[in-house]
Amino acid sequence: MVKTVHYTLEFSLLPAGFQPLRIIHLSDLHGQLQDMHGGALSELIRTLKPHLAVMTGDMVNAGADWRNAEGRRAFLGLCRALAALCPVYYSIGNHELEMPEQRLKVWLSKVSRTGVSILDNAAAEFVHDGVVFPVFGLNIPLLYYKNPLRRPYDPRAKWTAADMNRVFGSHTASGLEGRGPSLLLAHNPLYFPAYRDWGADITLSGHIHGGIFRLPILGGVLSPDLSLFPKYDGGLFKEASQRRPKDTKYLVVSRGLSDTFLKRIANPMELVCLTVKSGPGI
């Protein structure tokens, strides 16, 4: 069963009278749509009346067996349904990266033909109520996922704000006339300090699956890299930029839409609905 989770973020830089922006955030579907009745998921999203939909990786699995192929076909149907509702942006996760290079190229081409925009270390601009929202889609190499069960593996690997600059250049400051907060689609939330210090106002991530098992107070127990009690396990996080201590940045981590990595306990699958509005926030 999928739970819908709502978050509201207020920004003082948005003009008074700005019509709230509704964003649907999907992550970590892992090609399980046929198990979830894809029509029901697309209908749920339709009732939320989104202005924008984003997918933050691991929407399918890398394997070439019939079940994964079936899941990919179902996912393409969901893409077509969402693209008929609103603009859709898709960034890449580690499971897409585990596909052979040519298969990934073919797969992303198929997704693009549904009307979904692929952001593979690329940027776009989304306009809502006269305000321009920069949207960035990050694709980091598998090395930075720190999975000890897969190669390459380097526990010392660290993604930094300098790496963000190398990929996207210096972040264009939000808050300029006609420009709203920036959105960063980054599958792995582990490096939120880098995203934050680079300048992303709202980072949307997944990957952690809510910590698989959730305990009262302690939260999620296990990360896919097999570390215990990951800090950014799921939900909404607020942190100040290191360079600008008064500059608060947001991270929203989806707990995901599948249970392929062990079975969840006290940790339902979720669809995130994010509302961005004008207010006394940052």
Query: How many separate domains does the chain show?
Result: 1
> Are 236 and 250 contacting, i.e. CB atoms less than 8 angstroms apart?
yes
pLDDT band at 75 (very low <50, low <70, confident <90, very high): very high
Distance, in Å, from the CA atom of 190 to the CA atom of 253, rounded to the nearest integer, reads 10
Mean pLDDT of 83-99: 96
What tens digit of pLDDT does each residue of 193-250 get? 999 999 999 999 999 998 888 888 888 888 888 888 889 999 999 998 877 777 889 9
- Ranges 24-38, 195-209, 253-267, most confident: 195-209
Mean pLDDT of 251-260: 91
Mean pLDDT of 16-42: 85
pTM: 0.94
Percent of the chain with pLDDT strictly greater than 70: 95
The whole-chain average pLDDT of the chain stands at 90
- Domain containing residue 195: 2-278
E strands in the chain = 2-11, 21-26, 52-56, 88-91, 117-118, 122-128, 131-138, 183-186, 202-205, 214-215, 219-220, 235-240, 248-253, 269-278
- Span of 8-12, 63-67, 102-106, 132-136 with lowest mean pLDDT: 63-67
Percent of the chain with pLDDT strictly greater than 90: 65
pLDDT higher than 70, residue 124: yes
Following DSSP, what letter does each residue of 177-225 receive, concatenated? TTB---EEEES-GGGHHHHHHHT-SEEEE-SSGGGSBEETTTEE-B-TT
- The CATH number that applies at residue 153 is 3.60.21.10
Of 244 and 188, the structure prediction assigns the larger pLDDT to 188
